[in-house]
């Protein structure tokens, strides 16, 4: 079932949904199930599965020289989606990225997903390769998420890349895209970022999932600015509980977001990471309560491989 239909089926009641990471290469899928199992108590109607592109690692060769090797540490997004749908009978939303893919590879991945009964995709530019300073598109790939939206919309109408392929089976994907209450870090300003968000929606995106934020005011202002700009689709808030002191610097650096003074101050004063985790859980519960009151369609939790803080939050709310 499509994400948009799940959101409607909530009938005004806020749903509980999660984003998970595929396991590290070599790990057993059982570890993933062990992590998700407790959260199934809160009946997520869909689960997002992130996509992780290749990165470069250096291996020492004989004689001291270094070999630059390309490797994907978390492969398996498509397989995990199929496995989860099969195991839990819950819809999945694979993340599909521009980076590292030619248009044809994207098309083939979408064909696989369609055959597997996956009805949803979240379309993204994708992170830059870790050792590279900026995102670089493949020569025959897409540069911006809006181009991916265009490709999926065309496939949904039965237009594949090969123009000679007549009467091809249309796919039927519900399309989500990302939005940034605190602006995407490469956008010169929020107005410009919203212009491109609107482009994604105008091209066919049916809902937006936001980057994590710790101050609800940022989300409410973002939604208001989106509505003013003519973006009318559901805007799903992304929530991530703070779980350790190091995240006070890692999260702003990685995700280009602010941690409110009050939270940063309390976390700084906390005696250890157990106390920071407790603080983060309580903060996320307060954030969630306010968002539920405001009638958000779902609270979308970023698990980042750890479900126990999310379980604690969900137990209070759902």
Ligand X SMILES: Cc1cc2nc3c(=O)[nH]c(=O)nc-3n(C[C@H](O)[C@H](O)[C@H](O)COP(=O)(O)OP(=O)(O)OC[C@H]3O[C@@H](n4cnc5c(N)ncnc54)[C@H](O)[C@@H]3O)c2cc1C
Residues between 232 and 271 with contacts to ligand X, criterion CB under 6 A = 238
**Are 277 and 244 spatial neighbours (Cβ–Cβ below 8 Å)?**
yes
* Residue from 187, 270, 292, 304 in contact with ligand X (CB under 6 A): 187
Beta partners for residue 15, in sequence order: 298
> Which of 119, 193 has the CB closer to ligand X?
193
Return the SS3 of 79: helix
Q: How far is the CB of 266 from ligand X (least distance, A)?
A: 26
Residue with tokens 């098309």: 107
* Residue from 83, 124, 201, 205 in contact with ligand X (CB under 6 A): 124
Binding residues for ligand X, how many (CB under 6 A)? 23
**Are 167 and 114 spatial neighbours (Cβ–Cβ below 8 Å)?**
no
Per CB under 6 A, the segment of 37-45, 188-196, 226-234, 274-282 that binds ligand X is: 188-196
Q: Tell me, residue by residue from 196 to 235, as one string, x for binding to ligand X by CB under 6 A and - for no binding.
A: x---x--------x-x------------------------
Residues between 87 and 116 with contacts to ligand X, criterion CB under 6 A = 95, 97
| CA neighbor of 280 nearest in space, from 296, 295, 255, 301 | 301
* 146 makes contact with ligand X (CB under 6 A): yes
> Which of 73, 184 has the CB closer to ligand X?
184
* Residue from 16, 51, 173, 219 in contact with ligand X (CB under 6 A): 51
What is the C-alpha to C-alpha distance for residues 158 and 15, in angstroms, rounded to an integer? 32
Q: How far is the CB of 210 from ligand X (least distance, A)?
A: 6
Per CB under 6 A, the segment of 124-132, 166-174, 244-252, 305-313 that binds ligand X is: 124-132
Give, as one character, the DSSP assignment of residue 263.
H
Q: Cβ contacts of residue 288 below 8 Å, gap of 6+?
A: 239, 299, 313, 317
* Residue from 35, 125, 243, 287 in contact with ligand X (CB under 6 A): 125
**Are 100 and 138 spatial neighbours (Cβ–Cβ below 8 Å)?**
yes
Strand-strand pairing, 66-71 and 298-302 = unpaired
* 50 makes contact with ligand X (CB under 6 A): yes
Q: How far is the CB of 265 from ligand X (least distance, A)?
A: 26
* Residue from 39, 78, 145, 239 in contact with ligand X (CB under 6 A): 145
Give, as one character, the DSSP assignment of residue 198.
H
> Which of 2, 200 has the CB closer to ligand X?
200
* Residue from 3, 78, 178, 226 in contact with ligand X (CB under 6 A): 178
The dihedral built from the CA positions of residue 317, 312, 275 and 32, taken in this order, carries a sign that is negative
H helices present in the chain, as ranges: 3-9, 29-36, 77-88, 103-115, 145-156, 190-203, 216-228, 247-255, 261-269, 273-293, 308-317
> Which of 178, 267 has the CB closer to ligand X?
178
Q: How far is the CB of 199 from ligand X (least distance, A)?
A: 6
Beta partners for residue 299, in sequence order: 16
Residue with tokens 């983060």: 280
Binding site for ligand X (CB under 6 A): 50-51, 53, 95, 97, 124-127, 144-146, 178, 184, 186-187, 192-193, 196, 200, 209, 211, 238
């Amino acid at each position: 079932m499509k994400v948009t239909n799940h959101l409607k089926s909530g009938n005004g009641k806020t749903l509980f949904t999660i984003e998970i990471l595929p396991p590290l290469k070599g790990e057993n899928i059982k570890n993933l199930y062990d992590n998700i199992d407790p959260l199934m108590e809160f009946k997520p109607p869909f689960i997002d599965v992130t996509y992780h592109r290749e990165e470069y690692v250096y291996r020492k060769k004989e004689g001291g020289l270094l070999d630059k090797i390309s490797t994907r540490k978390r492969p398996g997004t498509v397989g995990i989606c199929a496995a989860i749908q099969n195991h839990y009978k819950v819809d999945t939303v694979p993340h599909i990225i521009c980076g590292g893919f030619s248009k044809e590879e994207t098309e083939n991945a979408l064909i696989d997903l369609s055959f597997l009964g996956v009805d949803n995709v979240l379309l993204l530019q994708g992170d830059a390769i870790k050792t590279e300073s900026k995102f670089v598109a493949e020569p025959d790939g897409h540069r911006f998420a809006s181009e991916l939206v265009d490709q999926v919309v065309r496939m949904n109408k039965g237009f594949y890349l090969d123009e000679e392929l007549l009467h091809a089976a249309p796919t039927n994907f519900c399309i989500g895209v990302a939005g940034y209450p605190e602006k995407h870090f490469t956008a010169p300003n929020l107005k410009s970022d919203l212009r491109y968000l609107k482009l994604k929606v105008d091209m066919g995106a049916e809902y937006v999932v936001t980057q994590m934020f710790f101050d609800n005011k940022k989300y409410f202002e973002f939604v208001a600015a989106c509505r003013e700009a003519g973006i009318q689709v559901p805007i799903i808030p992304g929530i991530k509980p703070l779980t350790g002191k190091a995240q006070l610097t890692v999260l702003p650096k990685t995700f280009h977001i602010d941690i409110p003074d009050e939270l940063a101050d309390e976390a700084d004063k906390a005696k250890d990471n157990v106390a920071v985790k407790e603080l983060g859980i309580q903060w996320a519960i307060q954030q969630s309560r306010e968002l539920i009151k405001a009638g958000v369609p779902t609270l979308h939790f970023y698990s980042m491989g750890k479900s126990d803080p999310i379980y604690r939050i969900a137990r209070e709310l759902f």
